[in-house]
Structure 1
Amino acid sequence: MRFFGTLVAALALAPQIVAAQMAATLVADTVDIVERNRLIATGNIEVLYEGNRLQASRITYDKPSDRLLIEGPILITGADGEILTADQADIDPKLENGVLLGARLVLDQQLQLAANQIDRADGRYSQLYKAAVTSCQVCSGEAPLWEIRAEKVLHDEDAQQLYFTNASFRIKGLPILYLPYMRLPDPTNTRATGLLIPQIVTNDSLGFGLKVPYYIALADDRDLLLTPFLATETATLGLRYRQAFAAGDVTITTSVSEDSLNDDSDLRGYLYATGDIDVGGGVKLQFDIQTASDSSYLSDYSISDTDRLSSILALTKVTDDFAASASLSYYQTLRDDEENASLPPLVGESAFVRRYYPAIGGTVTLGGSVDTLLRYGEAIGDAGRDMTRTGVTASWSKDWLSSTGVLLTTTGALEADVWQLNDAVDYDPTLARLVPYVQAELRYPLVRSNGKTRHVLEPVAALTYSHPVGDLPPNEDSARPELDEGNLLSLTQFSGQDAAEASTKLALGLTWTRSGSEGVTSQLGFGRILRSDTNRAFTLTSGQRNAASDWLVAAQIALPRGLTFDARGLLQDDGTTTLATARVFWNRPDVQLAGGYIWQAADNNIDRPVVSEYSLEGAVDVSDTWNLGFDARYDVARDSPVSAGIDLGWSNECVTVSLSVSRSYASSTTVEPTTDYGLSVELQGFSANGMPQVTPATCQN
């Protein structure tokens, strides 16, 4: 019947209505033709045009006026998902211009706009009169949780904006705010200039306040976020600028405050700036700038709990067989017991590495580097020493695989370094040193599998000889060495270039890995280093102070359903430990949990007290509407909490409410313990970032 009705209309009215048929296709159960210029369709009517679909009970097409007179109930579905319902309509065949009475517009299956009348113009604008706007479930006889009533609402489909005239915001039918004019993005708009969600903030130091972010889309490649923050004890303006380039991006975040927390009246603030730019030829320019007006600003405004700021400018280039970098760093301390002048505050580094693959086999690696540490002030010795190191390295490494599966790796390396020192007391102005390394490493992986479970047992041994020749420089870059899985088999366990070993050492390791068909993967590893001589450059808690190092023990187990455990420790022969860490992770779509514990013995060599701390953080979707987030750190050594926080969120189909409470228990004399409270309410349907849609509750009869 539907096909028959369309066929009759096409045969009877051609060519008179051919223009209308090109504009829109009409399908109906019954079609009547009156006076050869009017078409009346009834029964299961559909009009299709360029992805738009109209359904109605009766349509009259008048050829002289080129209009569609439609009787409802009317349902129009747009090509991009919007839905429009109405009782009556007078509209053109392209569904672009006309009037709809008793209409309701639904955008992105989320935001509902109901009006006595909607005027359509240019296929772009929908103007609603006596309109009600909400994303809440609307039940008969009940006011929605929230709604906006307006004398007029204009929806610009191309700009994806809603313009309100004489609007009142209502909660459960009660007017609480009137605005003569208001503009909001529609739910399909992912990037719109305008106000973002305000946030109520309460802080022990700053008092009660309100943050009102304002987003400005400057262009397709850059934007600006202004965040005024007014509280009892502060007036602050925050700013974030972002710009994207074809070759990279730049982000600048800063704020300026005038508050009553300090005795002086100077403005306070901070600046973070990051960038990553490809300058051509495979070279990348990267920078990360961090600075603050004083040591407590970041903590006072809950920006960061870091106690040192680092600013870095770097150039890097990496290819398959070549890498080069040059960087300049500046460090700013926020600690009570440190001075910038002695950190050192200024560090310059440059290095290159190139690999070659000679005909004799193996890999040849050549490298060079220059490092500079600059301190300022009048101090001499450790607190004022400036130092520049220039060095070159060369190494050759080759693998040998026997017929029985034993893998032998031989390595020979030579390092040559020269140091230039200023303001040094116990060292000559110029120092030089040569360090040769020779290493032989043996691995013998053993595999057993029964088709369901696979076991891999891999013993490894590395014999290394090194003997520095020349001067002993001050140790600036290897002050905190530590034995771990990453450096057990390395030529040296020092992290930098200043310290070197003069010994013959044997590193032993054993790793067992099991992979089961039930989805369980586990790994257990042991390691130890035996040296011919001790080296006092290793600290007490590095695990390497004695000729026989501590036992390195590491384990991990990954279970189905996203649960993972891992632990690592350094054990002495008598069973005591200098380091122990343990972590657990549970990662599921509705649960993310992470817990950890770390213990480190006291070490006077690096002025570190006993470290013993628990940490816990997580996020849980309690139900479809409730979610919970939390984090906590507790210092067992000081028997005091470090920080704690909780975030509670509730959402339904039309609103999201977030409440947060956090507490920082600072130990510094320049930073006071503070408690922060935050509250934000977000209306579904106007989010520029987009929010997940929630199935509305069913209306109760």
Structure 2
Amino acid sequence: MRSPGSIRIMRCDTRRGATRRRRRILCGLLLAAATAAPLLCALPAAAVEPPSRAEAILFTADTLSYDQERRVIKANGNVEAVQGDRTLKADEITYDETRDLLIATGNVSLTEPSGEVIFASQAEITGDLKSGVIEDLRLILTDGTRAAAASGRRTGGTETELTRTVYSPCDLCAEEPTRPPLWQIKAAKVRHDQNEKIVEFSDAWMEVGGVPVFYLPYFYQPDPTVKRKTGLLVPTFGNSSDFGLVAEIPVFIALSPQADLTLTPWFTTKEGALLEAQYRRELSRGEMKFDGSLTRDSTQKTRGHLFGEARYDIDERWRSGLDIERTLDRTYLRRYGFSDQQTLTSRLYGEAFGRTDYFVANSYVFQGLKSDDDNDTIPFVAPKLDYYHFGDVDAVGGRTDVHLDLAVLTRTDGTDTRRASARAGWTLPLLGPIGDLYTLSATLWGDAYHVNDLERDGSDNRYTGFSGRLFPQLAGEWRLPFARAGETSQQIIEPIVQGVLAPTFGNPSRIPNEDSEDMEFDTTNLFALNRFAGLDQVEEGPRFSYGLSWSYFGADGERASVFSGQSYRFFEDAAIPTASGLSGNFSDVVTAVDLAPNKYLDLLYRNRIDVGEAAARRHELGAVLGSELLRVGASYVRFDEENDDGTDFEGREELGFSLSSQLNRYWRTRIAGVRDLKGGGAQRDLGIRLTYEDECFLFTFGYKRTDIEDRDIEPSDIFYVRLGFKTLGTVGGGLRQRDGG
């Protein structure tokens, strides 16, 4: 029976590349220790291997000696002591077996299982490397944060207590390493409990640039290993011309490893208090997140909102979900900065995915927030069933697609609609003798309706009953790409022609128009078989469309493309809005230009021109010019007025601009705004932001002006300052930070 003491705590290890002579000395000492092992059997086991240490200590060093009488091991030169998953390194280590104590001197470092590293000039540590006293200590946490202390005490491998401590995540200046970091915290005592995963500071003060700025008798924060922990988050403070002084004080509550709740009370000097809440939860096969708020404002009106979403994967094929968007009044979301949406959509759904098919069952509830929205006339949609099938290639190279739809729309005031639709199509691509491409297609659309109280022809002549249609179409498309390849570039010119045969009926007055009131005509749907947004309206009559595209591709990534096209209709379609650009025989000409000649310029331009009247109906321009040092962005949008077809759209013309610059490694700035050119040239939005950011600190100063008047929403000015301290959080702010400033 061998002793459980000295032999097990040593091993011959030459991994450090020691000289052959040193390896002989080390192995010789181990052999001597092994020879002495039988003499140790007579000693009590506790004196040789204390019960506090379950695993042996493994030493490597340039030289090693063992004093059998005193039971002391001395190791010198590149010493490494390993016990379990902890490693102690030093220039010299003395291990007293009787006291189970390691004394390490010179370039001492202790690596913890969590990844933390403790540096010191001298340390006295127990044999399990879990407890001890350390002098002139420096600590690097797992996220790179540094701390230094005059002395420290380690207990049980889980608790570290430091005295006269300096803590900072900031890097030291390479040119002047003795200069104080950008910010640091000094404390009389710091305690790090790895079991509780917290770092406590007592008698602490913060210094910025070496100058004390504020004092805290006590505070604590989670250690770097913690992602979620109950406690106060950093509050924010700001000022708004609409709400006055604003304070937000968030409280984070970790309900379980899978769920948490954040409560954020707001306090304002003009509108009273508000409570904001966010709940999040991870499910075994999904997740959910809900945001809401509630307040009673200065007029004693109760206001609030609830947004949320939930997803659950039933199996690999089926998924269900819920989306909620509701508010108690129409201006609350925009005034308090939660959302700029004008229509809220809530949805409950289930869907299934297949290799060639897709099915979804939806139910919708809408809430209109515009001043002229009548929610009694906005339908509740349930159920809304859609099935899509995309067939494999058949024997002749064609492919079949099917869309089945069932929808039920119910209103408190107005028409109730029930619709069943079936749309089937077959498409065959062909290659011509000169490289031209043909696409032939045939479609058959069938729709059945039942309506209650349908208003027809804009009169009081209302209809209740059944109606339907059967609408076939044949289409053919021809393309002939001409390609020219150079040494460093490639160009492609491609004319496109499409012809469609369709009957001149399809939109009888007994069929309601629930989902096709808007029609956007541009280059993206020039060759679509139905340019209406939904299923209720179809394009009647034969027509053909034509266009020409040119593309350029360079070897260094430069590109350019131009496309222009038009459509011709043999018979006018009364269902098409006059302002859409598709009414009459000849449509408007639509054009799109995409230009990126180098990495410093990206431009996209689209327009719609009424050739008959030589008038531009629509312009859209977006451009970005420059590099990170100075980047300029511009956007211009103009839509014509639409005062026919029952619409009341006054048109739109606005100019957007942005100027941003990465001034240097740390500083950047941005100016952005939107100017309403149609409304007298008023500046609608303007934002200015200046930001400094380095590895440990974030500073942002900004100003935002919004000129919007809508019921109780008035023009507002917001000034904000944000300060972000790595590992501590963000302070400062201003109302509606979520808008981006």
TM over 0.5: yes
2:542 partner SS: strand
Give the conservation status (yes or no) of the 8 Å contact 2:544–2:569.
Answer: yes
Distance 1:121 1:592, change over 3 A: farther
Q: 2:438 aligns with which of 408, 411, 416?
A: 408
- Deviation of 1:168 (Å): 4.5
Taking the TM superposition and a 5 Å limit, the aligned residue runs for 1:240-639 are: 240-260=278-298, 263=299, 265-280=300-315, 282-344=317-379, 346=381, 348-357=383-392, 358-377=394-413, 384-426=414-456, 427-429=462-464, 430-467=466-503, 468=505, 471-472=508-509, 473-561=511-599, 563-573=601-611, 574-585=613-624, 594-605=633-644, 606-617=647-658, 620-638=661-679, 639=681
- Deviation of 1:334 (Å): 1.5
Equivalent position of 1:697 in the other structure:
none
Equivalent position of 2:275 in the other structure:
237
Distance in 2 (alpha carbons) for counterparts of 1:686 and 1:9: 49
Equivalent position of 2:5 in the other structure:
none
2:238 partner SS: strand
Residues 393-451 of structure 1 deviation map (CA, whole Å, 9 limit, x = unaligned): 22222122223222221111111212222222434323222211111111222222124
Give the conservation status (yes or no) of the 8 Å contact 2:506–2:540.
Answer: no
Which consecutive unaligned segments of at least 5 residues does structure 1 have? 378-383, 689-701
- Deviation of 1:26 (Å): 4.0
Distance in 2 (alpha carbons) for counterparts of 1:53 and 1:356: 63
Give the conservation status (yes or no) of the 8 Å contact 2:380–2:410.
Answer: yes
Distance in 1 (alpha carbons) for counterparts of 2:626 and 2:379: 41
One-letter amino acid of the structure 2 residue matched with residue 40 of structure 1: K
Distance in 2 (alpha carbons) for counterparts of 1:658 and 1:314: 42
Deviates more, 1:302-311 or 1:536-545: 536-545
1:298 partner SS: helix
One-letter amino acid of the structure 2 residue matched with residue 237 of structure 1: L
One-letter amino acid of the structure 1 residue matched with residue 561 of structure 2: Q
Deviates more, 1:72-81 or 1:584-593: 584-593
2:98 aligned with 1:64: yes
1:11 partner SS: helix
One-letter amino acid of the structure 1 residue matched with residue 587 of structure 2: S
Distance 1:563 1:531, change over 3 A: same
Distance in 2 (alpha carbons) for counterparts of 1:659 and 1:94: 51
Distance in 1 (alpha carbons) for counterparts of 2:721 and 2:277: 21
2:578 partner SS: coil
Distance in 1 (alpha carbons) for counterparts of 2:502 and 2:197: 69
1:456 partner SS: strand
One-letter amino acid of the structure 2 residue matched with residue 323 of structure 1: Y
Give the conservation status (yes or no) of the 8 Å contact 2:262–2:278.
Answer: yes
Residues 268-294 of structure 1 deviation map (CA, whole Å, 9 limit, x = unaligned): 111101122222362222322111111
Distance in 1 (alpha carbons) for counterparts of 2:445 and 2:239: 57
Equivalent position of 1:11 in the other structure:
28
One-letter amino acid of the structure 2 residue matched with residue 193 of structure 1: T
Give the conservation status (yes or no) of the 8 Å contact 2:122–2:134.
Answer: yes
Aligned residues: 678
Distance 1:458 1:183, change over 3 A: same
Distance in 1 (alpha carbons) for counterparts of 2:507 and 2:340: 43
Distance in 1 (alpha carbons) for counterparts of 2:432 and 2:130: 79
Give the conservation status (yes or no) of the 8 Å contact 2:331–2:711.
Answer: no
TM-score w.r.t. length of structure 2: 0.84
2:242 aligned with 1:205: yes
1:428 partner SS: strand
Distance 1:246 1:404, change over 3 A: farther
Q: 1:657 aligns with which of 678, 689, 699?
A: 699
Give the conservation status (yes or no) of the 8 Å contact 1:197–1:680.
Answer: no
Distance 1:482 1:147, change over 3 A: closer
Equivalent position of 1:696 in the other structure:
none
Give the conservation status (yes or no) of the 8 Å contact 1:603–1:609.
Answer: yes
Give the conservation status (yes or no) of the 8 Å contact 1:185–1:686.
Answer: no
Taking the TM superposition and a 5 Å limit, the aligned residue runs for 1:169-188 are: 169=206, 172=210, 174=212, 176-180=214-218, 182-188=219-225
Distance in 2 (alpha carbons) for counterparts of 1:145 and 1:450: 55
Distance in 1 (alpha carbons) for counterparts of 2:693 and 2:95: 46
Aligned residues: CA RMSD: 3.1
Distance 1:588 1:283, change over 3 A: farther
1:396 partner SS: strand
Q: 1:678 aligns with which of 702, 705, 720?
A: 720
Distance 1:158 1:515, change over 3 A: farther
Distance in 1 (alpha carbons) for counterparts of 2:185 and 2:506: 81
Deviates more, 1:673-682 or 1:434-443: 673-682
Equivalent position of 1:100 in the other structure:
134
TM-score w.r.t. length of structure 1: 0.88
One-letter amino acid of the structure 1 residue matched with residue 711 of structure 2: T
Residues 339-392 of structure 1 deviation map (CA, whole Å, 9 limit, x = unaligned): 212234657522212233444541222332123333223xxxxxx222222222
1:299 partner SS: helix
1:604 partner SS: coil
Distance 1:514 1:533, change over 3 A: same
Distance 1:83 1:619, change over 3 A: farther
Which consecutive unaligned segments of at least 5 residues does structure 2 have? 1-16, 38-47, 457-461, 731-741
Deviates more, 1:249-258 or 1:661-670: 661-670
Distance in 2 (alpha carbons) for counterparts of 1:470 and 1:533: 14
Distance 1:158 1:248, change over 3 A: same
Deviates more, 1:633-642 or 1:422-431: 422-431
Distance in 1 (alpha carbons) for counterparts of 2:22 and 2:201: 43
Taking the TM superposition and a 5 Å limit, the aligned residue runs for 1:115-134 are: 115-134=149-168
- What percent of counterpart residues are identical? 25
Give the conservation status (yes or no) of the 8 Å contact 2:74–2:94.
Answer: yes
1:304 partner SS: coil
Distance 1:619 1:237, change over 3 A: farther
- Deviation of 1:243 (Å): 1.5
Deviates more, 1:598-607 or 1:135-144: 135-144
Distance 1:622 1:221, change over 3 A: farther
Residues 459-510 of structure 1 deviation map (CA, whole Å, 9 limit, x = unaligned): 1111001113583323332222121233211112212222223211011021
Residues 207-235 of structure 1 deviation map (CA, whole Å, 9 limit, x = unaligned): 11222222233333222222222221321
Residues 503-542 of structure 1 deviation map (CA, whole Å, 9 limit, x = unaligned): 1101102111111113211111111101101223322332
Distance 1:415 1:155, change over 3 A: same
Give the conservation status (yes or no) of the 8 Å contact 1:107–1:187.
Answer: yes
Give the conservation status (yes or no) of the 8 Å contact 1:152–1:164.
Answer: yes
Give the conservation status (yes or no) of the 8 Å contact 2:507–2:537.
Answer: no
Distance 1:132 1:295, change over 3 A: same
RCO comparison, higher one (Cα < 8 Å, 6+)? 1
Deviates more, 1:507-516 or 1:126-135: 126-135
One-letter amino acid of the structure 1 residue matched with residue 281 of structure 2: Q
Give the conservation status (yes or no) of the 8 Å contact 2:281–2:287.
Answer: yes
Distance in 2 (alpha carbons) for counterparts of 1:256 and 1:678: 24
- Deviation of 1:157 (Å): 3.4
Distance in 2 (alpha carbons) for counterparts of 1:188 and 1:591: 39
Larger Rg belongs to = 2
